[in-house]
Amino acid sequence: MPISDDERDANDAHEGAPSEPAPATKRTLGLAGLLLELLLPVVLSAAILLAVASKVSWWDLRAPVGLGAFAILLVLASLFVSVRVDGFTLARRQRRGKRQLLNRTGARARLVKFALGGVVIPIAALFAANRVELPGFGTPMALLLKTGLMRPAATVAARTGFAVRHAGSTSLKVDGIRALQAMATPEALDELWRIATEDPGAMRGGAESAALARAIAAFGAAATPRLLELIGRLSPEERLHASGPASGGPGRDLAPALDALKDEIEGSSDEPATRATRLSRLAGARAELDELESEVEAAPHAGGSPAAAFVLDTFLAMSAKDDDELLAFARTTIADAGWSAPVRGQAMLLLAKLGGQDDVARLAAFLDAPDAVLRAHAMQALAALEAKLSAGA
């Protein structure tokens, strides 16, 4: 199709016209993103650690050890968050490439960012929080502790209870339990109860169990509801197979006889060498008994949960002589065949301690029981109850 002269002139004019310049590449500074990735790790990590420290009673940020642990964890957490945030924004920064002057994707730039956001800034922030003085307020950390955002320093009772639960020897546990008993405060009772429920060996007999039962018993009626709740939670199977009280070890029963024998040897007219030989043999026998006692206490107790025996030991150690709630509990336990014979036997002793004349027949009914454990405890309880009634008369 022929092109007219007018169209040819128009095309020539269009081709000869200068072309529009291409848009220039937009460059960004990237400062906002860089600051966010530098400050977010330390802010987020500090907030989480402060929240955790406010819930943990033994983590005291006022103490050098507690503050040092906070500093180490702050650096580790900030470094971890810095790496995660960098990985989250890496794809977007790679698309920008060299158009972004700061916060680039090169290995060196990222390493510098990790060092700043994960190490330098957290340490500098913690140093400033503990050193920079605010007019009229003190340091920022002191202000934070005063505002109540942090839990108060752990009390002596809380620290003692923590030490008992993590002690490696029985003697240290016993000393800590006695210290809590001497405090005689509601918080001390709370710590004793934590030991009873959290320490696996606290109820399984031995020196620790005996000391713990005496310590809780010293609080009297204040400890009764918790003890009744503990024994009330036992299942029928646990009740039927509940273990009895630990014997306390053979050395404990023979200690008076061994002491008397030692006095007899020391007071004899034998030659000094003979006395020394006999005393040495006696010391060896006592050491063997102590070792056997440790083995007995460390061995697992057969027969199920020891909680019921521990609770009844604690009730028996209480000084109260008139408690209607415990008296009703003892009578109910004795009559309940769902309990094991050792537990019912302990309940008989509790009945003898708290009961009266009406309970004589209740105990006498077990003198011809088929179970030898029940018969033995019934005789022992009857003797104690009759002695109490005679003294009262």
Q: Is the pLDDT of residue 15 over 50?
A: no
The pLDDT value given to residue 224 = 94
171 or 148, which is more confident? 171
Which of 68-72, 187-191, 237-241, 294-298 has the lowest average pLDDT?
Answer: 294-298
Q: For 75-103, what is the mean pLDDT?
A: 82
- The number of beta carbons lying within 10 Å of the beta carbon of residue 257 is 9
pLDDT at position 17 over 60: no
Residue 332's pLDDT band (cuts 50, 70, 90): very high
pLDDT, tens digit, 9 for 90 and up, residues 202-216: 888 788 999 999 999
**What ranges do the domains of the chain cover?**
31-146, 157-249+304-318, 250-291, 321-393
**CA–CA separation, 69 and 83 (whole Å):** 22
Predicted pLDDT at 393 = 54
- Tokens (6 digits) for 220: 């009297």
- What share of the chain has pLDDT > 90, as a percent? 33
3-state helix, strand, coil in the chain (%, to 5): 70, 0, 30
| Tens digits of residue pLDDT in 155-194 | 888 889 988 988 888 889 999 999 999 999 999 999 999 9
Q: Looking at per-residue confidence, does 77 or 91 come out higher?
A: 77
348 and 379 in contact (C-beta within 8 Å)?
Answer: no
User: Would residue 249 be called left, alpha or beta, if left means φ above 0 and alpha means ψ between -120 and 50 degrees?
Assistant: left
Q: How far apart are CA 74 and CA 124, in angstroms?
A: 11
CA 35 distance to own-chain centroid: 41
The whole-angstrom separation of Cα 88 and Cα 171 is 54
CB contact at 8 A, 203 and 231: no
> Does residue 173 or residue 282 have the better pLDDT?
173
Question: Does the pLDDT at position 9 exceed 60?
Answer: no
Q: At what angle do helices 31-55 and 64-96 cross, to 10 degrees?
A: 150
Instruction: Check residue 66 and give its pLDDT.
Output: 79
Residue in 359, 366, 364, 362 with CA at minimum distance from that of residue 389: 359
- Rounded to an integer, the average pLDDT of 292-296 is 49
CA angle 167–165–66, rounded 5-degree value: 85
Distance of CA 215 to the CA centre of its chain: 19
CB 351 within 8 A of CB 253: no
The pair of structure tokens assigned to 59 is 């983590």
pLDDT reading at 142 higher than 90: no
Please tell me the distance from the alpha carbon of residue 237 to that of residue 187, in angstroms, as a whole number: 33
The single residue listed with the structure tokens 């990237």 is 30
Three-class secondary structure of residue 100 per DSSP: strand
- Closest to 145 (Cα-Cα) out of 62, 55, 66, 56: 62
pLDDT reported for residue 297: 46
**Predicted local distance difference test score (pLDDT) of residue 132:** 82
CATH code of domain 321-393: 1.25.10
What is the distance between the alpha carbons of residues 4 and 21, in angstroms, rounded to a whole number? Answer: 32
String of b and e for 354-367 (b: at least 16 CB within 10 Å)?
bbeeebbebbeebe
More confident position, 17 or 331: 331
Indicate the pLDDT class of residue 3, thresholds 50, 70 and 90. Answer: very low
